[in-house]
Structure 1
């Protein structure tokens, strides 16, 4: 299948990637099973409470991200593509508004390249979040790698 593309220019997107030592199938499971996703989604120290996770095209993902010191952040998304085990795409319904495409490319039987694209409507929207999102996405990947290790035990 063809990957989801949202109309964009380079100044309207933030792209993070990482190669992890896990199979494509295991990575996909970590991203699509709410029992694993809730353990690693978000920057260091954040926790999650999921109220809805309907993994299908048109399905909703509603959750609250709890900051370690202060604040709860409501999130609502709608899945627009699920292609097991290679791709997930969603649109955010809650602010800040952006679209996401996450792809999982098997480099070997035990190594996967993850590309996480956040696509904004305007450069201004992208530039508001860029100063801290890049580092926070890296923290998110760090937490994912820890969850992947637990999943293989």
Structure 2
């Protein structure tokens, strides 16, 4: 019987309240991690297409925070806050993200950096407090499209670092 020895697939207990976005970045994972963990790089690619970012404060360490404003192409500003809850260079970053520390819809993200030869598989797994919060992010904020655009911008930015370093 074909496939009889396969373990059954189990769904994540948080599947109904999570978004998972991934992208292959054509650069070594140490460089991709650097682009994700240094404010001088983040300001070059963070946010969906057309958005820019202004950092108010940044401290990349467990318990540290990044407070920033995302500027939309239509002129609206979005206050943002991230605190880093776990950092394992160059493998993984965990964080909490919301409008502010007291935002009731603060969500948790785990970003993993997996080497694929000379490239890196980046996966961002975001878990919301409940399904309704996830659905609001998907419908009102276009979180899936915005996340895909953000990682695409990262994918375009990191090779410029390689070129600047002469790799």
Greater alpha carbon shift after TM alignment, 77-86 vs 127-136: 127-136
Which of 150, 153, 156 is 1:143 aligned to? 153
Q: Deviations over 1:65-117 (max 9, x none)?
A: 01111211111121101110011111125244211111100111x11101101
Q: Which has the larger radius of gyration?
A: 2
Paired residues for 1:1-153 under 5 Å: 9-93=14-98, 94=100, 95=103, 96-108=105-117, 110-131=118-139, 132-153=142-163
SS in 1 for 2:136: helix
Q: Which runs of 4+ in 1 moved over 6 A?
A: none
Measured in 2, the distance between the counterparts of 1:12 and 1:104 equals: 22
Tell me by how many angstroms 1:140 deviates.
0.5
SS in 1 for 2:16: helix
CA separation of 1:48 and 1:8: change in aligned 2, threshold 3 A: farther
Greater alpha carbon shift after TM alignment, 141-150 vs 35-44: 141-150
Structure 2 alignment gaps of length 5 or more: 1-11
Number of equivalences: 146
**TM-score of the two chains, using structure 2 as the length reference:** 0.83
CA RMSD between the two structures: 1.4
Q: Deviations over 1:44-84 (max 9, x none)?
A: 01001111111111101100001111211111121101110
Q: Deviations over 1:22-50 (max 9, x none)?
A: 10001001101111111100000100111
Matched-pair contact (CA < 8 Å) for 1:17–1:115: yes
